[in-house]
Each structure stands twice: as structure tokens, then as C-alpha cells.
Chain A
Amino acid sequence: MDDIYKFDVDADKRINREQPWTKDPHYFKTCKISATALIKMVIHARSGVPYEIMGLMQGKVMGTSLVIIDSFALPVQGTETRVNAANEAYEYMVQYIEGSKLVNRLENAVGWYHSHPGYGCWLSGIDVTTQFTNQKFQDPFVAVVIDPNRTISAGKVDIGAFRTYPENYTPPDAAASEYQSIPLSKIEDFGVHANQYYPLEVQIFKSSLDNELLGLLWNKYWINTLSQSALISNRAYAVSQLNDLQQKLAKAQSSVSSTRAPIPLPKDDIKSKMLAKEEKKKEEANQLAKSVKDGAKIATEAQHGLIAQVLKDILFSSRPGAPTSSSVSVEEVVDTAMSIG
């Protein structure tokens, strides 16, 4: 189980000579990330909110997997100048990686990560350009994106790993990826570039010692699980989500009002008209259905926060024998949550 942590210099040299990824744009299928690398990236991303932060990842190639053993932060805050940020941090990067060799961190840089606080894991136009360049000159290289806000509101890490296709390559019909809610302000950027890259499956690995320690750690921090309140820590983000949903609904509503009731038609015309109506319906359904999904997600996350609060209330505030009619029972709350999600 721990072998993945061993760095085999010869195997690494060999695969870097053969470069099987240059022959197949879809070569890499999975991105395996170590527990420590992941936790460091999430903490870094959260510490930077509301700014985007970035860093590098060290690791190696194993089969069709890009394995990330470690990560480190870079002293740049990105907004629109991501392509240049790498230049500013160049000296830092070189020094850090050189230094790593002195402490037995032998792995090379195999990727970069950055955060999208509150707007999901995908590659923006600038990200795609940056990654094109990376894959041209630094391959093998992977792009990882983390959303620290969603991580907190969903209670699980929101992360994605991506590889860009070479320019002028048209991918075969992309498989439908899992839907994620993108804020209106970013949706165009998302849509335009969505076909220029593909996601890798993210898997987490840990050592046997990590496993032991995590089990023991749980003995200590279960208290935080009960005492922290996602509702409070993520307030601003929750409100901005609602704002965004409202705008999307306004958009959907305006398109709905432009449809008209079908006019009775002579038989031979029915078929073509039906098709046109079908198309329109699909369009509306899409916009509306998406807004519905977004709304459901917001509600679910609010429910999570609520469930936690209610649990605490029941645990710590009920008197034995007293009727709990004044507080909502956990069952009801959970039932409603399940009917949404």
C-alpha cells in the first residue's frame, strides 16, 4: 500500500523518455492525489478566499495515472493574469524544487493547482491557455482546480483535475459530465472552452501510517464536527448563490413568456411544427431545469446546516420528558432534505 510513495528514479527516467502521452491526447485517465497534498491544497485555497491562489504539485507518472505526492503554495494571487503569475513565481519555484532534493523529496513538478472560490471546478479561457502551454513545454503536467467555498457548504472537497486537448484536436463526443452549477457571470467563459479539455478521475490515496493516524485523529476532532456550523461560516457565499439563482430564474422566466400556445395546423404541416416546438421546449427546459437543480443544491446545503443545528439543539437543549414541539424534529428535516436531493 505504501509503495506508491517510493520514488523509482529509473522507472521515472524511462517513462519520461518514452512519453506515451504524446501519442494519445486522452492518455491520462486518473489523477491520484495523496492525503497530505490534498489537505494542503484545500487549506491554502481556503486561506486565500476571496482571492484565487495557486501552487505546484510534485509527483510522477504511473501507467495512465498522474500521481501527486506533494504540493506547495506559490506566492502569487491570481485574478486575470494567471499566465504571467507563473513567471513571477518562477524563481520561487526553482528554489523550492531544488531545495526539495536536499530533503529527499525527489519527485518532479507534474502539475499546478489553483482555486475558484465559489464558482466551481473547471478551466477558464486563461486557464486553458496556461495549460496548453504547460502541456507543450512541461509535460507531463496536470491542472487541478479546487473550490474552497463549495467544499465548506457541501461538506466534501470540491476538486477537479484536467488535461487540455492539443490545439486543432476535436474530441469525439464528450461524455456528459456531472452537472455543476456555474454562476451566470462565468457561464460564458465556461461554455466556450468546455470542449478544449477533459476531466481526469480524482482518487485519493494514503499510507498505512496515515490511515492509523486518521483513525486516531477522529477520536479527537469529532467534537469539531458537532460544534462547527456551516451556516455561519459560509453565509456570504450562501447569499451570493441565491442572488445568482435569482438572476438565472429571471432569464428562464423571460424565455418562457415568449412561447405561445400551439395553433391548430393542417395535417401535413404538423410534423415540422412539432419538431420546432420540441426544440424550443428542450431549450426552455434546459435553462429552467438547470435553475431548478441550482435551487435544489442551495436548499440541500441549507438543509445540511439546519440538520446540524437541529441535532445540536436536540442533544444539548432538550429536557427529559418535555415535549419537543417547539423545535423541528430531525426526522422531518431529513425527510425534506431527501425529497429534494
Chain B
Amino acid sequence: MTSMDTDELPVVLPSTTTTSGLTIALHPLPILNISEHFTRLKLQKRQSLPFVLGALLGTQTGREVEIVNTFELAVQDDQVTVDQEFFDARRDQYKQVFPSLEFIGWYTVAAYPTAKHIAFHEQFATLIPTPLLLLLKPSSSFAASADLVVQTLPFKAYEPTIEIRDRKARSVFIEAGYTVETGEAERIAVDWTARGGSGGTSLESHLSSQRAAVKMLHDRILLLVKYVTEILAGEAKKDHATLRSLSALIASLPASEHKGFREEFEKSTNILNDLVDKHIVFTAQREERGPGAGRRRGPRGMMDFH
């Protein structure tokens, strides 16, 4: 094919002029899938930057997109045409097991989108109107930083659109922001594997993940406090949007002073404490003779707990 890589025009619109209106939620599974795909190809082909291509599965309602899963794609021998047969077959198979997921875009590994990606985009655009592009940036182009604020996932999402310039229309990409969302089972599995999948009592693991989360919250709060102190001392520049969100946040605390809420909360807390107390008594008494008869009333009584 002609080498159209020497485009003078970049294929990504600068984010100062246009922003994507999409709200994108990215799950951990696609992130790890893409990582596995990339690692596997690097090892098999013994290249540091092999060509990786895959499809994104998820849901899209209006401007809200959720990227939930992925599968790999094959290209034909010319290296630029997607293997349509394989794509159709795989897509149907995933539809059978996850009927709620749709094909919503594609992924590859690159530092930034180029004309080559536009070519792929046009193939996918025949299937759905606006296929998202998710790029994994290879490690040489993201710097690891110790500062927790700067550390971001090496993934970038792009929304395709048409740019009209000089009475000519061309496809371009706009960078889109995303948040990470997880389902509960997914979070637990991700957490567990991050920790090496070891045992420990369930209390330990539960407490340690709670503790880690609270520590993160604490660190973030400290950062905000530092920022505000610096503003007061005249050292930092006032960012009004940030300050407004901060004051809205503080105004909404305490989260639950509303009387009705506190009553409900305390009721459920008490019921659960009851449940736990009964079990403690039961456990403590098991050595004595005839504990079964006495305790029988306990669990039955707890059937009202809901």
C-alpha cells in the first residue's frame, strides 16, 4: 500500500480545541487482557513492539460507554486488513456467552495514533458508527514516577470523529478521558491476584484491603490540604474549579446527619451486632454439656434479620 505515514497532518486533534463528550468507564479485565496479549506476542515473536490488535466489548448508551472485556483479532497476510471471518466468528461466540456485551471498539499498542490506525478505524467503522480506540502505550514512552498523582495507567482512549478542513473531510481521533470501574467480584479477584492469591484469614485480608483504601483516602486528603495551605500562603495558584469542588465536598459532610438515615443505620448495626453476639455466646459455650438445646432458640430468632 502507499506509505501514507508521512502525513503532515496529525490524526489526533489537539485537546485544547476539542474535547470528547463521551463518559468512558474502563474495567480492569480489558486492561489485564491487553497486557497478556502484548506480553504473549512479545515473547513469541521476540520483538519489543509486536503488532497487537484486538476488539473491545462492552456497552454504550448514549454518551456513556463501558469497556468490559476484549478478544484478540487476526489480520490477513497483507498486515493491514482485518480478518473479517475470524472477527465474525469470535464476536458471535462471545455473544452467546455474554449476550449483553456489544462490539464497541478496538485496541492496539502504540505511543500515539497514526495514519495506519485511521486505516484500521475505517474498517471497523463499517461495522459500528463510532468505534472507540484504546491504546496501550509501550513502556518506553511512559515514565514511572514516584509521585502518586502523576502515576497513571499507560492507556489512552480516543473517540473517532470527522474533521472538515479545506472542504475535505477526514477521520481523526480526539482523546477521551476515562475512569476505572469494577464489579464487586472483579474487584475482589483483581485484589486477590495483586496480592499473590495467598490465604491468610479472611479477616486479615478484609482488614488489609480496607486499610489500604483508607490510607489512599488519607494520602489524597493530605495532598488537598497541602494545596489549600499553599494557596493561603500565596505560593500556589488558585484554581477555582478545584476550590469549588472542594467546598462542595466539605459542605456535604457529614454524609449522614439526616435523622432518618441515622436511625436506619443504627438499627441495622444493632441487628448485626446481635447476630454476632449470639454466635459468640454459642461458640463460647460449646464445651459445656447440652449447649445444643439452649442455643437452638438463638438462630431461629435471627430469622427476622434482613
Contacts and interface: CB of A to CB of B under 8 A. Distances in A.
Contacts of A44: 97
Interface string B28-43: 1101110110111101
26 contacts: A6-B44, A36-B32, A39-B186, A46-B184, A75-B93, A75-B96, A99-B86, A99-B90, A151-B189, A152-B188, A214-B190, A217-B180, A219-B151, A242-B303, A249-B292, A252-B292, A295-B299, A296-B279, A298-B275, A299-B276, A301-B202, A303-B203, A303-B272, A304-B206, A315-B217, A340-B276
Interface of B: 28-29, 31-33, 35-36, 38-41, 43-44, 72-74, 83, 86, 89-90, 93, 96-98, 139, 144, 148, 151-154, 179-194, 196-197, 199, 201-203, 205-207, 209-210, 212-214, 216-217, 253-257, 262, 265-266, 268-269, 272-273, 275-277, 279-280, 282-283, 286, 290-293, 295-296, 299-300, 302-303, 305-306
A45 to B, nearest CB: 7
Contact of B93 (A96, A204, A214): A96
A220 B276 contact: no
Contacts of A168: none
A157 B262 contact: no
Interface stretch (A10-18, A131-139, A225-233): A225-233
Interface of A: 2-3, 5-7, 33-36, 38-40, 42-47, 70, 73-75, 92, 95-96, 99, 102-106, 148, 151-152, 154-157, 202-204, 206-210, 212-226, 228, 230-231, 233, 235, 239, 242-243, 245-246, 249-250, 252-253, 256-257, 288-289, 292, 295-296, 298-311, 313, 315-319, 326-328, 334, 336-341
Given A40-B29, A43-B189, A222-B216, A246 B272 contact: no
Contacts of A253: 292-293, 296
Contacts of A334: 207
B217 to A, nearest CB: 7
B183 A43 contact: yes
Contacts of A292: 282-283, 286
Given A209-B39, A219-B216, A249-B292, 12 more contacts: A36-B36, A102-B86, A152-B185, A210-B32, A212-B144, A217-B180, A222-B216, A222-B217, A256-B291, A300-B202, A304-B202, A340-B280
A228 B187 contact: yes
Nearest to B95: A75
B153 A226 contact: no
B183 A316 contact: no
A292 B33 CA distance: 42
Contacts of B32: 35-36, 39, 210, 213-214
A48 B79 CA distance: 38
B293 to A, nearest CB: 6
Contact of A207 (B36, B203, B207, B305): B36
A5 B214 contact: no
Closest 8 CB pairs of A and B: A204-B197, A220-B180, A46-B185, A253-B292, A103-B72, A299-B279, A225-B213, A73-B97
Given A36-B33, A210-B35, A295-B279, A156 B205 contact: yes
Contacts of A317: 253-257
Contact of A306 (B213, B256, B269): B269
A218 B31 CA distance: 12
Contacts of A252: 292
A225 B306 contact: no
B282 A295 contact: yes
B243 to A, nearest CB: 21
Contact of A246 (B28, B36, B182, B303): B303
B28 A221 contact: yes
A70 B201 CA distance: 28
Contact of A310 (B202, B269, B296): B269
A301 B203 CA distance: 8
Contact of B192 (A104, A157, A296): A157
B36 A34 contact: yes
A227 to B, nearest CB: 9
B238 to A, nearest CB: 25
B300 A328 contact: no
A95 B203 contact: no
Given A213-B32, A257-B292, A295 B254 contact: no
B207 A154 contact: no
Contacts of B97: 44, 73-75
Contacts of A202: 197
Contact of B202 (A154, A208, A226, A328): A154
Nearest to A341: B203
Contacts of A256: 290-293
Contact of B187 (A224, A246, A296, A303): A224
B89 A99 contact: yes
A339 B206 contact: no
A279 to B, nearest CB: 17
Nearest to B33: A36
A315 B295 CA distance: 37
Contacts of A95: 89, 93
A245 B280 CA distance: 15
B40 A5 contact: yes
A220 B40 contact: no
A151 B188 contact: yes
Nearest to B26: A220
A225 B209 contact: yes
A216 B193 CA distance: 14
Nearest to A7: B44
Contacts of A3: 43
A311 B213 CA distance: 11
B202 A213 contact: no
